[in-house]
Copies of this chain bind each other. A is one copy, B any other.
Amino acid sequence: MNLVIRKAEKNDMISVLLLIKELAEFEREPLAVELTQNDLIRDGFSNSLFVCFVAVLNDTIVGMSLGYPRYSTWKGATMHLEDLIVTQKFRSKGIGNTLFSNFIKYSHSKGVKRVEWSVLNWNVNAIKFYESNGAVVSDEWKIVQMDEESINNFILNT
């Protein structure tokens, strides 16, 4: 298996978008992806809003990781792993493991005090994998989100 993990380039964003859409289907939100290939190119390369790595197997992109810096007022600089995706056909071959390891090593090289991400509570395989690597899944902290519509309503009403 000739697997290479490398930083993504602009040309890879079409494959990255397909992986994002595949994950959204798995997460039962097939229509949630509003981004286009051009959005990803602008946001990842002109605006540097994220870093992306791709897993290339025999010249084909079969997986990716995508993350960005965050900040903890307790610990300082941290990294967030937004997505870790391996396409269905190539799962259970250790590619996700290699992508994860690459992202943790990248974060470590940046000197961050924490790496964090989110997981769906029913994704037990992912949770087992994360815990086996020393990560802790919080029962106490909840994620709160205000979407675009709520933001607009809030602005109108205040």
Residues in A lying within 8 Å of B, measured CB to CB: 20, 24, 29, 32-35, 39, 43, 47, 49-50, 66, 68-77, 80, 82-83, 101, 104-105, 107-108, 112-122, 127, 130, 133-155, 158
Number of copies: 2
User: Distance in Å from the Cβ of A40 to the closest Cβ of chain B?
Assistant: 8
Interface of A is mostly: mixed
Q: How far is the CA of A73 from the CA of B50 in the complex (A)?
A: 10
Which chain B positions have C-beta within 8 A of A118?
A: 141-144
Tell me whether A143 and B134 are in contact (CB under 8 A). no
Q: A121-B140, A154-B104 are in contact. Are A147 and B73 (CB under 8 A)?
A: no
Tell me whether A70 and B68 are in contact (CB under 8 A). yes
